[in-house]
Structure formats: C-alpha cells, structure tokens
C-alpha cells in the first residue's frame, strides 16, 4: 500500500476504532476502489459524534456539525468524517429538514444510489453492503436505494446525479429508477441554477459526454435545463451540406468528435454553435434552406443561455466569440493577410480550429480551410500573429496630429499595412506617416 492518501485515510479510521468507535470508508471511495478506479478522496462514516471526532484529532474543523460532519486534517489531507445518520423529512425536494444520528444500516439507506451506499472496513478490506450495491456494481447498474419515486421526490438533484454517475461509469439505469427519473424531470427547475449548472458542466466535460447528453435528453431533463437544444431536433438543413441529418444530429456528432479532454469552452461552443438555426431558418426563392445570421444571433443566444445558467464570465467570454466566428472559417483562404492575422490572434483560436474541424468532419467533410489554417499557424509559429505596433499615438502627436478617434484610425491603417507585410520597420512606418498622415 503506497498511496499516501489511502494510508492517511486508514490511519484516521484506525484512530477512531482505537478510541472505541466504529468507522468505515463510505460512499464514492468504496465504489471507486471496487471498480478499479483512482480514488480522489476518502469519506469516512462513524458512530462518533462530531464532538467526539474533534476530541480524537488535533486538527478538526466543524464544517457541518449540524449535519454531523467534521473535517479532519491529517498528514496533509482533508477527510470528511460524518456521523452515521438518517435524514428527516424533505419538505422542499432539496434538503432534509432535520438529521438524526443513527446506525450504519440507516446511513446506507439515506444515500442516493446503491453503488454509492457501500462501506468498507479498511482494517480487513471487508465491504459492508446493506443495499445490494456490490451486485449492482458488478452488473454495472445504477439503481436508486429504496423506492426511486420517493428518493427523487426527496431531492431533485439526484436526477442529475443519476445521469452524471451513469455516464461517468457507463452504467445502465435500472428500469424503475429510470421511469421515476423521467416522471420527475420537470421538477429539476426547483433546484437552484447554480447546482444544476455544476452538475451539467461535470457531465458535459467528461469524456463520456455523449452518453450524458443522450441521458439528459431522453430523461426529459434537457427540456427543462436547455430547451434550446431540444429545438434543434427536426430543424432540417440542406442535405448536400449536411448529409448527417438535422441540426440536433449534427451537434451531437460533433460532441462525439471532439477530443476526450476538450476544454469546457469548446464543449459549450459545440453545443451552442448552431443554436440559432431554428430561429433564423428561411427557404430562398430557389428552394434552398438558409440560416442567414445564425452565427451572430447564435452568439447572442449563447451568451443569454450561459448567463441564465449562471456560467462564469470567463466561459461566456470564450464561447460567445467562438459561436460568432464559426462561419468565418469558410473565408480564411480568401482573406487579406492582415485580416487573417487578426482573426487568428483570438485567445480562443486553438479551440476554434477544433470547432471548425468537427463542424466539417461531421457534415460536408471539407478539410481545405482547416488545413490552410494549420499551415498558417506553422508559418506564424516563430513570431506573434499580431506583432507589436511599429508606431504609437505619441509618434502621431509629435507630428502634429490631434488626439482623438482619428489617431486610432491611422494607427489601425499602419497596423494593417504591417500585417500585410508592406511596412516592416519603424522607419518605414514613420516615412509612410510623413507621406500620408
């Protein structure tokens, strides 16, 4: 046993058992070990009260003493040590009204899914299973503990947790759990948007994101979280450019094509890049389907949607321009050098290349613009795409220009000539200024 985290966790349990208490590893860490996955943190369950836990260790914070949780800092790691408990009634579908200390068996039964309800005695390696969790793990099944209907009604967040765990571990969802999930899906809106977004982003940034996406849609949760995605279903497109099908299918295939470790911005940009197609769809006089302005309108919608979900600003600031610019890739081979360099200078450009690649790969299969941009990136690899300016506003003022918007216009003109390769040195630029300024 060389894992220092596990070693420390075992010592915390041993300290409690030496003091006469019962203590086990609980929940996710037991599940993860049995599945052969990396364990990132150990939760400990015990019959000691938070006060008794506090007395047994030197560094303890009472993070949730009223829920029976103490945070033990031990050998450089933090462990949540929770007293075995059962939850009181759930008045609002979000949080139990009260908790009371209880037995390991009752504590297992308050947990959400059988795979999350296991205990482990680290001293013996024995798994303590009151809820049939091991069997479900072996069968790769996600099953609510007890009556699924009741369990989702107690806490609607469990619906998103079900999707998250099923996608992350590629589990099938047991029938009555699935039926109950679908029945309660509309009630997800009673959960705070912050908690919804935290779950959704975890689902979508995971490598198995397409399964998560499908489960969100099939459960009915998507309709209440991102109804705009459901609107993409049946939004047909010209078959010669989109042999893969409607906008929904196109988006889903792209989600499947991005790398497993895609950035969160790329994931959202893929999801939202064509979000305005239903709203902008027209048929022209030749009978061709068009989506004029779907990039511009889509960028606005993407921002609106992400704001509604209370996404962080840095994410919105990345996704919005990615959506706005996704059609610009069609013109890269025809761009002036200066226009291309400015286009490529965006902080999101690496993700945008990938967005463009999968946009084509999932539909028309055109690779020309993608390859062109990659070649240009190599060409510009040893210099800044947009190099520092040759002259500044001060140079212009020294030459008698008045401060104001006109200065910016001239500087921009000089930068364009610089990016196009017509001005290369400061002296060139000053000479141009004397002749034209």
CB count within 10 Å of CB 6 equals 17
CB count within 10 Å of CB 422 equals 13
Kindly tell me which residue out of 85, 158, 277, 357 binds ligand ATP, with binding defined by CB under 6 A. 158
What is the per-residue binding string for Mg ion in 17-36, x denoting contact by CB under 5 A?
-----------x--------
211 binds, among ligand ATP, Mg ion, none (CB under 5 to 8 A by kind): none
Long-range CB pairs of 327-336 (<8 Å, 24+ gap) are 327/294, 327/295, 328/295, 329/356, 329/359, 329/369, 329/370, 329/373, 330/369, 332/369, 332/372, 332/373, 332/376, 333/368, 333/369, 333/372, 336/420
The residue (of 108 and 266) whose beta carbon lies closer to Mg ion is: 108
CB 222 within 8 A of CB 190: no
* φ and ψ of 24, to 5 deg: -135, 160
What is the per-residue binding string for ligand ATP in 83-112, x denoting contact by CB under 6 A?
----------------------------xx
Provide, rounded to whole angstroms, the least separation between the CB of residue 117 and ligand ATP.
6
What is the SS3 string spanning 361-386? Answer: HCCCCCCHHHHHHHHHHHHCCCCCCC
Provide, rounded to whole angstroms, the least separation between the CB of residue 306 and ligand ATP.
23
For ligand ATP, the nearest residue by Cβ is 28
Stretch that binds ligand ATP, among 70-78, 151-159, 180-188, 344-352 (CB under 6 A): 151-159
155 binds, among ligand ATP, Mg ion, none (CB under 5 to 8 A by kind): ligand ATP
Q: Hey, which residues between 35 and 54 contact ligand ATP (CB under 6 A)?
A: 43
Q: Check the CA dihedral 385-388-390-391 and report its sign.
A: positive
Provide, rounded to whole angstroms, the least separation between the CB of residue 343 and Mg ion.
43
- How many chain residues are in contact with ligand ATP, going by CB under 6 A? 10
The residue (of 27 and 278) whose beta carbon lies closer to ligand ATP is: 27
- How many chain residues are in contact with Mg ion, going by CB under 5 A? 1
Provide, rounded to whole angstroms, the least separation between the CB of residue 339 and ligand ATP.
46
Distance in angstroms (rounded) separating the CA atoms of residues 36 and 426? 62
Q: According to the binding rule CB under 6 A, does residue 27 interact with ligand ATP?
A: yes
Instruction: Convert 131-156 to b/e letters by CB count within 10 Å (16 or more is b).
Output: bbbbebbeeebbbbbbebbebbbbbb
Listed residue (123, 125, 199) closest to 155, CA to CA: 199
Give the tokens for residue 400.
């008698």
CB 45 within 8 A of CB 104: yes
Provide, rounded to whole angstroms, the least separation between the CB of residue 113 and ligand ATP.
7
The residue (of 28 and 122) whose beta carbon lies closer to Mg ion is: 28
For Mg ion, the nearest residue by Cβ is 28
Which residues is 317 bridged to in the sheet? none
Provide, rounded to whole angstroms, the least separation between the CB of residue 158 and ligand ATP.
5
The residue (of 117 and 298) whose beta carbon lies closer to ligand ATP is: 117
Residue 356 CA from chain centroid, whole number: 20
The residue (of 225 and 322) whose beta carbon lies closer to ligand ATP is: 225
Q: CB burial class (10 A; 0-12, 13-18, 19+) of residue 288?
A: exposed
Which residues is 318 bridged to in the sheet? none
What is the per-residue binding string for ligand ATP in 109-148, x denoting contact by CB under 6 A?
--xx---xx-------------------------------
Q: According to the binding rule CB under 5 A, does residue 117 interact with Mg ion?
A: no
Residue 208 CA from chain centroid, whole number: 12
Provide, rounded to whole angstroms, the least separation between the CB of residue 41 and Mg ion.
6
Give the tokens for residue 228.
């705009």
Q: According to the binding rule CB under 6 A, does residue 155 interact with ligand ATP?
A: yes
The residue (of 211 and 252) whose beta carbon lies closer to ligand ATP is: 211
The separation between the first and the last C-alpha atoms of the chain, rounded to the nearest angstrom, is: 74
Element (H, E) at 283: strand 282-283
Provide, rounded to whole angstroms, the least separation between the CB of residue 79 and Mg ion.
11
CB 26 within 8 A of CB 9: no
The residue (of 65 and 346) whose beta carbon lies closer to ligand ATP is: 65
111 binds, among Mg ion, ligand ATP, none (CB under 5 to 8 A by kind): ligand ATP
The residue (of 79 and 248) whose beta carbon lies closer to ligand ATP is: 79
The residue (of 27 and 298) whose beta carbon lies closer to ligand ATP is: 27
Binding footprint of ligand ATP on the chain (CB under 6 A):
27-28, 43, 111-112, 116-117, 155, 157-158
Binding footprint of Mg ion on the chain (CB under 5 A):
28
């Amino acid at each position: 046993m060389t894992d220092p985290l596990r070693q420390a966790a075992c010592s915390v349990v041993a300290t409690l058992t030496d003091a006469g208490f019962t203590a086990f590893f609980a929940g996710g860490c037991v599940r993860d070990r049995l599945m052969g996955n990396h364990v990132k943190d150990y939760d400990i369950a015990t019959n000691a009260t938070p006060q008794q836990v506090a007395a047994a260790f030197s560094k303890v914070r009472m993070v949730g003493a009223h829920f029976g949780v103490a945070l033990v800092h031990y050998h450089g790691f933090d462990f949540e040590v929770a007293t075995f408990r059962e939850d009181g009634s759930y008045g609002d579908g979000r949080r139990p009204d009260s908790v009371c200390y209880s037995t390991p068996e009752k504590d297992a039964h308050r947990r959400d899914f059988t795979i999350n309800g296991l205990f482990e005695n680290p001293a013996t390696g024995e798994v303590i299973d009151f809820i049939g969790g091991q069997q479900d793990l072996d069968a790769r099944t996600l099953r609510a503990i007890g009556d699924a209907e009741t369990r989702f009604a107690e806490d609607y967040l469990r619906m998103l947790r079900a999707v998250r765990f099923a996608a992350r571990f590629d589990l099938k969802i047991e029938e009555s759990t699935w039926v109950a999930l679908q029945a309660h899906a509309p009630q997800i809106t009673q959960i705070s948007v912050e908690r919804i977004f935290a779950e959704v982003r975890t689902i979508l940034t995971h490598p198995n994101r397409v399964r998560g996406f499908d489960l969100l849609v099939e459960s009915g949760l998507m309709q209440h979280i991102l109804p705009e995605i459901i609107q993409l279903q049946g939004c047909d497109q010209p078959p010669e450019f989109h042999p893969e099908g409607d906008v929904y299918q196109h988006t889903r295939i792209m989600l499947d094509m991005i790398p497993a470790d895609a950035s969160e911005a790329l994931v959202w940009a893929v999801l939202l890049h064509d979000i305005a197609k239903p709203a902008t769809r027209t048929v022209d006089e030749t009978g061709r389907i068009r989506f004029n302005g779907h990039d511009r309108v889509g960028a606005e919608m993407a921002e609106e949607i992400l704001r509604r979900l209370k996404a962080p600003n840095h994410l919105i600031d990345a996704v919005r321009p990615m959506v706005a610019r996704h059609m610009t890739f069609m013109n890269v081979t025809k761009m002036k050098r200066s226009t291309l360099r400015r286009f490529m200078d965006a902080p999101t450009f690496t993700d945008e290349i990938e967005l463009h690649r999968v946009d084509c790969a999932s539909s028309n299969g055109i690779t020309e613009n993608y390859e062109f941009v990659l070649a240009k990136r190599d060409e510009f690899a040893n210099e800044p795409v947009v190099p520092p300016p040759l002259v500044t506003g001060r140079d212009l003022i020294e030459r008698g220009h008045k401060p104001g918007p006109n200065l910016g216009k001239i500087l921009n003109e000089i930068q364009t000539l610089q990016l196009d390769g017509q001005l290369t040195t400061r002296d060139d630029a000053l000479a141009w200024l004397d002749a034209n300024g």
